[in-house]
Structure 1
């Protein structure tokens, strides 16, 4: 049995999961699994992401750059926490990083799982592009905007990506993404209600990234402006069914959480 099948089996045994027919009927809000199913598998790995896609879940992944200018999918600026190696990603070559075990730290059954390249992640996603899932891209490394856009275009998945991370708070990053492609979907952050008008007015952002529970009137303003809504942060990252339910009630477009399976089960119960 492959790692991915083992992972899927584990998920089905440890959580209540929709069937594929249920998943086909998925409605708003879209679920975005933070670093994939990080409570069930090593974060930011292909085994993890394939499981998300098999379950018709979106996911969020992080981008760093290696010493020899390759883009890899890893959350931290070092490999220490999520592999058996040490050192900064920016000071290691792709070959050195690919020699590392990115799975055993989580569970021995994931031994020899590798740190994937960004192209591998996008190529995997392309296999599932027919499904309505949202992939959130956290740009941690600087100066990678055009490269990521080109890779997304190569695999015909740009229209399913939402750029977050540095994108939400740095207008220069949003501008660079839009220069690389007018079709790039960028988010601008509203950490609180006072910041909402500025985020809504940003001409390079087609999404408002909420870090608080917005009022219904603010959500209506988002849709009146022809934009979409995304929420992340402490209000929804944990197992917070009351807040998730509120987001669904005000028609939030997407929720980023560490508890994606629990969120999906709750949404199923609301149908």
Structure 2
């Protein structure tokens, strides 16, 4: 997508967005942009995340640890794909990884964009406390639960985070998050209808994380259990308006997608 087309789409989106009532907005699923606006800005960067928040969109980000113990936001275990460097994240100190260019690979206009620290991202989220957004945290590395929760509490954003990644399939990770704070929101994955009962019954999870399009009866069961619902994966990641509409109709609470702007326009058009 060209930069001009991106700007036109974003301008059109903003105009429609601000014409909607609060009731309309609360009735729709929350939108979570996978690694931010990854088609419009370099993923997992502050420029990207700030754009999401300005547009009242949540986002998903990934957490890795540097050689000297700092938590940074980058998807891969190496810096090769999204910076001008090479090597494992765990082999870089924070100073070294901050010297890398994390924007030029996407477009020269993002030259010198940095790999952000976890604290920088949480501080940014805190600046937009008036916006109703969900931030999904994909923990790519183990043993960081206590530190992540404490940083989220420091910036008063813990209640806006949903922990995914290792969390959805590892009860030990959920346990450590809950030990750090019972207010930490966790999810359990249901890859198919057969896995749904166990995901719903999990006592250490606040959300059911769907990897398929759930029927309405299962959504009613989620609500009756006092839990919330999140969907990600192949059924919603692409530009799939029919599937998105199904999610809205059955009452899913949040959708993670690679096409957040298109999803928002699709949901808005159904309520106009």
TM-score, normalised relative to structure 1: 0.95
* TM alignment of 1:143-158, pairs within 5 A: 143-158=143-158
* TM alignment of 1:22-101, pairs within 5 A: 22=19, 25=22, 26-27=25-26, 28-101=28-101
**Aligned counterpart, 1:18:** 14
Superposed CA deviations along residues 180-236 of structure 1, whole A, max 9, x for unmatched, are 000000000000000000100111100000000011110100000000000000000
Contact 1:97–1:115 (Cα < 8 Å) also in 2: yes
Cα distance, 1:14 vs. partner? 3.8
Alpha-carbon distance in 2 for matches of 1:61, 1:99: 20
The residue number in structure 2 matching 1:3 is: none
* Aligned equivalent of 2:263: 263
Quote the Cα distance in structure 2 between the aligned partners of 1:131 and 1:105: 31
TM-score (norm 2): 0.94
Look up the match of 1:170. 170
1:243 aligns with 2:243: yes
Cα deviation digits, residues 56-81 of structure 1 (max 9, x gap): 00000000000000000000000000
Unaligned runs of 5+ in 2: none
- What runs of 5+ residues in structure 1 fail to find an aligned partner? 1-6
Q: Secondary structure at the match of 2:185?
A: coil
- Could you tell me how far apart the structure 2 residues matched to 1:178 and 1:24 are? 35
Q: Is the 8 A contact 1:63 1:73 kept in 2?
A: yes
RMSD: 1.3
- Distance in structure 2 (CA, Å) of the matches to 1:227 and 1:105: 40
Once residues 213 and 18 of structure 1 are traced to their aligned partners in structure 2, the CA distance between those partners, rounded to angstroms, is 28
Pairing 1:201–2:205 present: no
Give the distance between the partners of 1:213 and 1:162, measured in 2 at CA.
20
Cα distance in structure 2, aligned partners of 1:10 and 1:118: 31
Structure 1 residue 130, shift from structure 2 partner: 1.5
Cα deviation, 1:161-189, whole Å, max 9, x if unaligned, reads 00000000000000000000000000000
Q: CA 1:22/1:184 → structure 2, altered by over 3 Å: closer, same or farther?
A: farther
CA distance in 2, matches of 1:219, 1:92: 44
- Provide Cα deviations, 1:229-265, integer angstroms capped at 9, x if missing partner: 0000000000000000000000000000000000000
Contact kept? 1:23, 1:55, Cα under 8 Å: no
